[in-house]
Structure 1
Amino acid sequence: MLILALDTASLVSSVALAKPGRLLAEITLQTRKTHSERLMPHIEQLLALADTDKTAIGAIAVSIGPGSFTGLRIGLATAKALAYALGTPIVGVPTLAALAFGCPVPGAILAPTMDAQKGNIYIALYRWQDGVLDEVKPPAVMPHAAAAALLAARPEPALVLGEAAELYPDTFRQAAVALAEPHVAMPRAGSVAMLGAGLLAAGERHDVMAVEPLYIRRSEAEELWEKRHGCQR
């Protein structure tokens, strides 16, 4: 089965083609252009590089968050439209799990992160166990200083991946928490594809009409609207 994977949860845009256990092609780029400008051209370029066309796509895997609200909406809308038009299965892959999957380091806690604005980060904890990525703590949002303290209190070494490593390096270094190098911390559609292949093999499919982003928190626009209108949840 040929799997098309999309990851647009951050400033990085990444698309990949894969078969179970084999990455065929991948384009990963970080620019100032929006995902809406580059995503479809990248998919077209990816298919050309792999010397195939859209009719060969057997499934679509897409990162569902947490992450950039706009990026997630663009990526998921594109994936859903393609899955519907091509009549292929779609599977949503948690963004933080995909980040951790790209760093197979046994014996350590992996802490993939995404920016949640205003000093907060999205974070989850994972570890590799017998070649399988296990979730230790599900995705949550918290202040970056609290995340550093959480990792510093753990008995095993921890490695921070993703945007928090770039945004708040001093906070984590002061807590004696290691930071991944940028090329390791960057989100990749190849990891989304590999995790998606595993989910598909296990029989998991998502409803193309119902699959939604994993936001974790409300958007700033929602919070502002509620503040102005005196609404509370």
Structure 2
Amino acid sequence: MLLLAFDTATPAVTAALHDGEAVLAECTRIDARRHGELLLPVIDRVLTEAGADKGELTGIAVGVGPGPYTGLRVGLATAAALGHALGIPVHGVCTLDGIAHAARAGGLAEPFAVATDARRKEVYWAAYDAAGARVSGPDVDRPAEIADRVAGLPAVGAGALLYPDAFTGARGPEHLSAAHLAAHAAERLAAGEQLLPPVPLYLRRPDAQVPAGYKAVLPA
């Protein structure tokens, strides 16, 4: 196995390479406005550091969100293009599951929540059991609306850190590292489990909307 994993569903533009046993290389850049500019250089850096060529890849794991429309589509379009060009499978992974994997690797061994910033004063979030399995979500909500459900739970991710009044157990990691996305996907694939299809988890309509009630102009 030589699995390339990357994610653009959060401000972290992150990629990693996994050989089925360990992460060979990982690179992350934090910039919420430059996903399209940064992703391919980040992927190239990972392949170079690992001494690998794209032609050696056996699969791609891409974060499917939830996340903002613009950033998320950069990663998914890139994954689709690479998978088609190389003739290899593309697997989807919930971005929150990757952050949960990082939390578990960091020693968290009790039920917890993961939350990322959904903007509009909302968070994308999910709940996990002590073994790191997702038990609810992903959902998008205002923090105050779920405060009673996450009160007292350890909570990781930028959304939890942004709203500590609701996520009283907020802690790091703040953003996803593709090293954990890759490890999570590799473990699932090695166990013969199915991953998600590589389609976006938007959870809500995009911010950009077609104007309603605009005036049609017809030629004279």
Distance 1:123 1:196, change over 3 A: same
* Residue matched to 1:126: 128
Q: Answer yes or no: is the 8 Å Cα contact 1:161–1:179 preserved in 2.
A: yes
Q: Secondary structure at the match of 1:66?
A: coil
Q: Tell me whether 1:190 sits opposite 2:179 in the alignment.
A: yes
Q: How large is the RMSD of aligned CA atoms in angstroms?
A: 1.9
Q: Answer yes or no: is the 8 Å Cα contact 2:116–2:160 preserved in 1.
A: no
Scaled by the length of structure 1, what TM-score is found? 0.83
How far 1:97 moved relative to its partner? 0.9
1:62-211 equivalent positions in 2, closer than 5 A: 62-104=62-104, 105-129=107-131, 133-152=132-151, 157-172=152-167, 177-181=168-172, 184-201=173-190, 202=192, 204=194, 211=198
- Cα deviation per residue 1:141-198 (whole Å; 9 max; x = unaligned)? 111112222112xxxx4112112133222443xxxx21113xx232111111112213
* Residue matched to 1:56: 56
Out of 191, 194, 201, the position equivalent to 1:214 is 201
Identity of aligned residues (%): 37
Q: Answer yes or no: is the 8 Å Cα contact 1:59–1:88 preserved in 2.
A: yes
Which one-letter code corresponds to 1:195 in the other structure? H
Unaligned ranges ≥5, structure 1: none
**CA–CA distance in 2 between the matches of 1:48 and 1:3?**
14
How far 1:206 moved relative to its partner? 6.4
Distance 1:90 1:134, change over 3 A: same
How far 1:220 moved relative to its partner? 2.1
Q: Tell me whether 1:3 sits opposite 2:8 in the alignment.
A: no
**CA–CA distance in 1 between the matches of 2:183 and 2:118?**
26
How far 1:116 moved relative to its partner? 1.9
**CA–CA distance in 1 between the matches of 2:121 and 2:84?**
38
Q: Answer yes or no: is the 8 Å Cα contact 1:3–1:19 preserved in 2.
A: yes
How far 1:203 moved relative to its partner? 5.1
**CA–CA distance in 2 between the matches of 1:114 and 1:205?**
21
Distance 1:21 1:180, change over 3 A: farther
- Cα deviation per residue 1:5-50 (whole Å; 9 max; x = unaligned)? 0011111110000122311110011136511111111111111111
**CA–CA distance in 1 between the matches of 2:199 and 2:117?**
19
**CA–CA distance in 1 between the matches of 2:8 and 2:43?**
13
Q: Answer yes or no: is the 8 Å Cα contact 2:117–2:158 preserved in 1.
A: yes
Unaligned ranges ≥5, structure 2: 214-220
* Residue matched to 2:218: none
Aligned residues: 210
Q: Secondary structure at the match of 1:185?
A: coil
Scaled by the length of structure 2, what TM-score is found? 0.87
Distance 1:203 1:103, change over 3 A: closer
- Cα deviation per residue 1:94-119 (whole Å; 9 max; x = unaligned)? 01111111111454222111222221
Q: Answer yes or no: is the 8 Å Cα contact 2:59–2:88 preserved in 1.
A: yes
Q: Answer yes or no: is the 8 Å Cα contact 2:93–2:196 preserved in 1.
A: no
**CA–CA distance in 1 between the matches of 2:83 and 2:196?**
11
Q: Answer yes or no: is the 8 Å Cα contact 1:90–1:205 preserved in 2.
A: no
Q: Secondary structure at the match of 2:66?
A: coil
